[in-house]
Amino acid sequence: MASGHGNTVPALWLLLALLLASLSAGMIGQTGQQGIDPALDGAEAATSARQVEADCEGLTFEDIFNYSYAHFDIDVYDTWDGAQFNLVAYVNGSMAGDLRADVDELFDGLPGGNNSYLSSDERDGLEAVGMDCVVQTYTRTGFRGGPAHRGGQGVDWNNATWVREGMEIAEYNMLPPDSPDGRVCRHPGMSPECWEVPVYPSTVDDCGSTSCDLIVWLNGTVDFDEASDPNDFTFAMNMTNMSNIEIDITLPLTSVGAG
């Protein structure tokens, strides 16, 4: 098992603004409910799907949001042709309020958007397009067979790509359930159970029985273009913009020494 830490410039803030702005009339309807708008015909739905690919392709985990600390757990398959990725990011202190504010701003122009309150409708709308976006992002992980290599122009790193099937994205405390400032949503077209909290609590760090900090999980699998030789390979990750992160990599057992 190997561990590593990145200490580079903090990531950009929530580039998913491009995605949500382009899909506001399709995947996030004016009713505040999630999912593809049933009014979209096949051609329009296909256009929305292509827009997800265009807006999210080339992004990384750090491009989507800034975090205080993250842990990446990578478990390479026994077949050496893919891996399980379990990622968790902790967003603490003022970063948590900033993240809620950024999500609220993404919905500017939609009912309830950019009003200094983050609603359950906004959260659900973001989750509705989350996996479609993630599968287009870079894993920045390569598993190159052959002698040890440090890369260079034209080198095929056998890059990993996300698999949508089985992917899970979850969050904890995006909307603190016991926030003393929580209220029923007030925007037109809200869903029946919509509720919201201010992006920044009226009293600093007062979110009720829980803290204001939040957690984001991403669990999924990746495929490599081809299986690597378990006896001769280079495992590489581009760590640009990865700040305060721990990475654990588990490789399959290839041999057992004689007793």
pLDDT of residue 77: 93
Mean pLDDT calculated for residue range 135-149: 83
How does pLDDT run across 76-131, given as a tens digit for each residue?
999 889 999 999 999 999 999 999 998 888 888 888 889 999 999 999 888 877 88
Q: What is the DSSP letter of 114?
A: T
CA dist., res. 220 & res. 251, Å (int) = 17
pLDDT of residue 225: 82
Residue 52: half-sphere exposure toward Cβ, Cα within 13 Å: 19
Residue 149: half-sphere exposure toward Cβ, Cα within 13 Å: 20
CA dist., res. 129 & res. 221, Å (int) = 18
Instruction: State the pTM of this model.
Output: 0.74
- Give yes or no for residue 209 having a pLDDT over 60: yes
pLDDT of residue 212: 93
| Average of per-residue pLDDT values in the chain | 76
CA dist., res. 65 & res. 130, Å (int) = 13
pLDDT of residue 210: 83
Band of the pLDDT at 46, cuts 50, 70, 90?
Answer: very low
Mean pLDDT calculated for residue range 246-251: 94
- Give yes or no for residue 7 having a pLDDT over 50: no
- Give yes or no for residue 26 having a pLDDT over 60: no
Q: For residue 12, what are its two tokens?
A: 């950009």
- Give yes or no for residue 198 having a pLDDT over 80: yes
Contacts of 67 by beta carbon, 8 Å cutoff, 6+ apart: 11, 89, 90, 91, 95, 216, 244
pLDDT of residue 255: 53
3-state SS class at 161: strand
- Give yes or no for residue 74 having a pLDDT over 80: yes
- Give yes or no for residue 234 having a pLDDT over 80: yes
How does pLDDT run across 184-196, given as a tens digit for each residue?
999 998 999 999 9
pLDDT of residue 9: 25
pLDDT of residue 166: 93
Query: Which of 88, 119, 91 is CA-nearest to residue 103?
Result: 119
Calculate ∠ Cα 182-184-185, nearest 5°. 110
pLDDT of residue 57: 79
